[in-house]
Amino acid sequence: MILSLFSVLSVKTATLAQNTKLKRYMKINQTWLRTLGILGLLGGLILFAGDMLFYFDASNANIKMNMGNASDIRILLSGITALIATWFYLLGLVPVYYALKPTKSGVRNTIIISFAGILTAYGIIHGAYVAIATTAKVAVEYQLDIEIVTALASKINQTLRLFVYPLFALLSFLFIYQVWKRKTLYPRWIILFFPLIPFLFRGILGKFLEGSIRIVIMGGYFNLILVIFFAASTIALWKADA
């Protein structure tokens, strides 16, 4: 009888210890999900700051002229933000991958690879702006036609963007479809904050903005929509059980 009692107590103690360990593990993973989501958000803010370093000037709304007048240190720091922000962006995809756990592995991997490809392109394209900024500085310094001098760098930048659009179309279709069909851990409202939605309103919004506010909003628009997405994603998964 006593042995049976000790046996039951041992089992209960072991189960309690296991449950305590499991809860601690889940809490740690939940903390990591939140932290990585916030890093994704910070990636957007860092690259947005990089945009402003390139071409913000409260007294001028001409982006290329502003880059031509930017100091060397501003261009240098802006180039560095591309690397740091890309690292943070990619780390921010970990919670997204977690939220897609209920989906089929092929769909989940396609979404993540597409998203990662786009975020990597963000950094590369921002880095390519260094060429535009430096050639713009040459044009301003020697009083040359800024459009002609920066033409090749601008063409390279635009060409790089062409590789992003197919990935963005694929990502948007798969992500929105999976969320709408409730095949992810995301609530349906996350669709409103997915980058495609604010992207579609970019042209309309631009018509109502002028001067320095236009430079701030439209100049950093693509990073701001990612800030919004990672913020919404982090909030949606804040109490998720990892």
In the predicted model, is pLDDT for residue 28 greater than 70?
A: no
Interval 50-54 mean pLDDT: 96
- From 57, 74, 58, select the one nearest 66 (Cα to Cα): 57
38 exposed, middle or buried (CB, 10 Å; 0-12, 13-18, 19+)? middle
Q: Angle 210-53-87 (CA atoms, 0-180°, nearest 5)? A: 115
Question: In this model, does residue 25 exceed pLDDT 60?
Answer: no
172 in Cβ contact with 194 (< 8 Å): yes
What is residue 210's predicted lDDT score, i.e. its pLDDT?
87
Contact 150, 139 (CB under 8 A): yes
pLDDT category at 21 given cuts 50, 70, 90 is: very low
Residues 9-36 have a mean pLDDT of 58
Quick one: pLDDT band at residue 3, thresholds 50, 70, 90? very low
Q: Which residues contact 169 (CB under 8 A, 6 or more apart)?
A: none
By the 10 Å C-beta count (0-12 exposed, 13-18 middle, 19+ buried), 7 is classed as exposed
> Where on the phi/psi map is residue 143: left (φ > 0), alpha (ψ -120 to 50), or beta?
left
d(CA 66, CA 63): 5
Does pTM surpass 0.95?
Answer: no
At residue 233, the pLDDT reads: 97
Rounded Cα gap, residues 52 and 37, in angstroms: 23
Q: Which of 169, 4, 154, 8 is nearest to 67 (CA)?
A: 154
